[in-house]
Amino acid sequence: MVRIVVILMTVKLEEYIRERAFGLGFGAVGFAEVSPSRSTEAFREWLANKYCAGMHYLERHAALRSDPRNLAPQARSMIVVGARYPFEQTGCAISNFARGADYHPVLKEKLAQLAGSIAGKCGAENIGPICVDSDPLPEREWAVRAGIGWIGRQGSVVSPEMGCCFFLGELLLNIKVEHSPEITNQCGDCDLCLKACPTGVIMPENQLDARRCVSYLTIEHRGEINPEISAAFGNTVFGCDRCTSVCPWNRRGNAPIMPEFNIATGAVFSLEKLSALDNIGFKKQFQKTPVERMSFERFSRNVGIAIRNTKK
């Protein structure tokens, strides 16, 4: 009898959290039991192969990433949420994910609201910390463990509700909740993302060599870019949507796009307009978007490459 009551209370709490998260605009919510990461060895191998390119912070964070309890020693469960952004393939120079608000503060604020709204049920002392993207947590693994989706061939998490164009966020809990069932990989014999990659960096086992990835090179890489590689960038100035926007699961899911990221672009980001921006215009145009994190020098380098590519 006692056991039945405990289970009913647990289910109620999960449903309560889900309802609150969906109310904040998240497209998927799942729960995972906290334990050591399963991907530590594969991640170390990836680093040893130098596939992380210049993202040396990943090497520095490697030990921390191996267990969420390195961030929160009392953590027992993790809430993982997904926030969907537009997926249409438009050939725009600025990637789909970067046209709306910067997702870091948006997701952190929404997860803080979620934490506040469930504090009465969980106990405020049992909630936190919040993690989004840059925190030392293997987010994709935790999304899989929380039943959000599976890791697709291109290395992104694919969700039946959201496809593969969404941001992830996590909220750690010091209490145990029932974890969500994991979803079987449903890529089947599809290889659209592999075929869409202009530099052929997607390898077996969902591994990706960032040294030739357009997204990494345009967003994070400092300095010059090998012209043999940048010739494949097309009109790209920031990011690369090719391997995610072709995924058929984008069109199967019904989850709403989070309003903060649902920005109409039209001609605003045409190469012609981007090339006319000076430093002040760049800062004004991209304030509070992910592009703002890039220096004007890097932006100008990328615009120059895109112009050269489109004149060929």
User: Catalytic residue positions?
Assistant: 133
Residue whose token pair is 């809990």: 173
Rounded CA separation 242/299 (Å): 20
Q: Does 96 bind ligand SF4 (CB under 6 A)?
A: no
Rounded CA separation 241/173 (Å): 33
Q: What would the two tokens of residue 288 be?
A: 């509070």
Q: Which lies closer to ligand SF4 via its Cβ, residue 98 or residue 214? A: 214
Helix (H) or strand (E) holding 80: strand 77-84
From 75, 78, 208, 255, residue interacting with ligand SF4 (rule: CB under 6 A): 208
Question: Strand 150-151 to strand 157-158: parallel, antiparallel, or no bridges (unpaired)?
Answer: antiparallel
Compute the Cα dihedral for 246, 105, 27, 125 and give only its sign.
positive
Q: Which lies closer to ligand SF4 via its Cβ, residue 75 or residue 214? A: 214
CB 125 within 8 A of CB 117: no
Q: Minimal CA–CA distance to 165: which of 96, 100, 256, 111?
A: 96
Q: What would the two tokens of residue 260 be?
A: 């903060």
Q: Does 201 bind ligand SF4 (CB under 6 A)?
A: yes
Q: Which lies closer to ligand SF4 via its Cβ, residue 150 or residue 269? A: 150
With a CB cutoff of 8 Å and minimum separation 6, the contacts of 282 are 296, 299
From 28, 115, 122, 187, residue interacting with ligand SF4 (rule: CB under 6 A): 187
Q: Does 147 bind ligand SF4 (CB under 6 A)?
A: no
CB 54 within 8 A of CB 222: yes
Q: Does 196 bind ligand SF4 (CB under 6 A)?
A: yes
Contact region with ligand SF4 (CB under 6 A), list: 26-34, 53-61, 98-106, 238-246? 238-246
From 29, 213, 255, 257, residue interacting with ligand SF4 (rule: CB under 6 A): 213
Q: Which lies closer to ligand SF4 via its Cβ, residue 66 or residue 244? A: 244
Most distant CA pair in the chain: distance in Å? 74
Binding mask 46-65 for ligand SF4 (x = CB under 6 A): --------------------
Q: Does 214 bind ligand SF4 (CB under 6 A)?
A: yes
Binders of ligand SF4 among residues 150 to 169 (CB under 6 A) are 152-154, 158
Q: How far is CA 5 from CA 8, 9, 52, 102, in A?
A: 5, 6, 48, 43
Q: What would the two tokens of residue 60 be?
A: 């520095």
Q: Which lies closer to ligand SF4 via its Cβ, residue 33 or residue 220? A: 220
From 55, 62, 190, 307, residue interacting with ligand SF4 (rule: CB under 6 A): 190
Binders of ligand SF4 among residues 246 to 275 (CB under 6 A) are 246-249
Task: Point out which residues bind ligand SF4 (CB under 6 A).
Answer: 152-154, 158, 187, 190-193, 196-199, 201-202, 208, 213-215, 240, 242-243, 246-249
